[in-house]
Amino acid sequence: MERFKDVLKANNLKSTHQRLAILDCIDTYGHIDIDAIYDTVFKKYPSMSKATLYRNINDLISFHILEEVKLPNQKQQYEIRKIPHIHLLCKNCAKVEDFFVETHSLMETITLNSGFTISNSFIVMNGTCKECKV
């Protein structure tokens, strides 16, 4: 939790219970949608309103502390911003796995052939995870 206090302080944001609980929840789950965050945080702070949740999510995104994760056929989810990675989405259990892989050569191919300058990418692989495969 100290980690998040520092991040908030660095952005001149106050470390409220609600904020810390939201960050902690997202961190714990890895990828989670608004309602699930609300349910989780609500258990600890039943007074927290959805307005506060929405405001915090939006603020934390604009300070680049959180990132939205928009997956095909899924409600929008959120994650703590971390080093660039791709997402593996299991069709079967709907779990989202982070995966770190070099994408430079793909990006270079695209740059060379399209004239488009790439600054960053968002990649989702749909399929079946190790556990669901059997």
Partner DNA sequence: CTTCATGCAAATAATTTGCAGTAAG
Partner DNA sequence: CTTACTGCAAATTATTTGCATGAAG
Site string for DNA, 28-67 (x = CB under 7 A): ------xx---------x-xxxxxx-xxx-xx--------
Given a contact cutoff of 8 angstroms between Cβ atoms, the answer to whether 121 and 102 are in contact is: no
Q: Pick what 106 binds: a copy of itself, DNA, none; C-beta below 5 to 8 Å, kind-dependent.
A: a copy of itself
- The listed partner (a copy of itself, DNA, none) that binds 50, CB under 5 to 8 Å by sort, is DNA
Site string for a copy of itself, 10-49 (x = CB under 8 A): ----------------------------------------
**Contacts with 36 (C-beta within 8 Å, 6 or more apart), sequence order:** 29
The structure tokens listed for 13 are 């944001």
Q: What is the DSSP letter of 59?
A: H
User: Hey, how many other C-beta atoms are within 10 angstroms of the C-beta on 18?
Assistant: 18
Q: Apex CA 58: angle with CA 69 and CA 31, to 5°?
A: 30
Q: For binding to DNA (CB under 7 A), which residues are involved? A: 5, 8-9, 13-19, 34-35, 45, 47-52, 54-56, 58-59, 76
